[in-house]
Copies of this chain bind each other. A is one copy, B any other.
Amino acid sequence: MEGQKVRLLGAWGSPFVHRVELALKLKGIEYEFIEEDLKNKSPLLLESNPVHKKIPVLIHGNNPVSESTVILEYIDETWPEIPILPKDPYERAQARFWAKFIDDKCLPVSWIAFTTQGGQQEKALKEAQECIKTLEAALKAKFFGGETIDYVDVVGNFLGYWMRILGEAAGIQYYDAEKAPVFHSWIEEFTSVDVVKESLPTHDKLLAYFKGHLEALHSTSTSS
């Protein structure tokens, strides 16, 4: 299977797609990126992920794999060189625990914190900041992976890059760098890594995209 063609169905503005891109780039795997128009999904996307009809989908040979964390595990098992998950079962369990914490706990509250208003927004922002506090305590080195990026860092790019810029677009302070120095330093280190910088959209492009997204969202919610 290693030699087969790799295609990634994605969209440049999706942090979930970028998890997959980052893993592929870290491992030096060649792939074709196919930009999807999410308002007019391609037949290839619809048949590759008939259950969710969502990106990212990795197509390896003719085998489609969906769900970003499932794809990351697949990539790590198929191309085991330059592993992104630790080798030891207990450390692997810890990595999966934190990835799940980010996806199940931090991600929904951060999204609500920056895309709603009033009391709901306030409550979610507090919860998002609690998440950061918890991650601060979990981070024991430069990266979650130690001296190099691993699975949790790749999953965490959602918080470390996208949410900070979404917060900026919403005009809300995501976190106070002085109160969350470890998290802040993780973001700085993470976004300084060459392969991360190469794979992420630029700050200005993403800020403009999120501003447009929020404007559309709020105009819909006030006109309904």
Q: Mark A residues whose CB is within 8 Å of B.
A: 1, 51, 60, 63, 65-67, 69-71, 73-74, 77-78, 89-90, 92-93, 96-97, 100-101, 134
Contact = CB atoms under 8 A, between A and B. Distances in A.
Contacts of A93: 65, 70-71, 73-74
Q: Quick one: copies of this chain in the complex?
A: 2
B89 A74 contact: yes
Contact of A96 (B73, B78, B89): B73
A45 to B, nearest CB: 15
Secondary structure dominating the interface of A: helix
Contacts of A89: 1, 74, 77-78
A67 B105 CA distance: 13
Contacts of A73: 92-93, 96
Given A51-B134, A70-B97, A77-B92, 4 more contacts: A65-B90, A66-B97, A74-B92, A78-B89
A132 to B, nearest CB: 13
A97 B50 CA distance: 12
A215 to B, nearest CB: 30
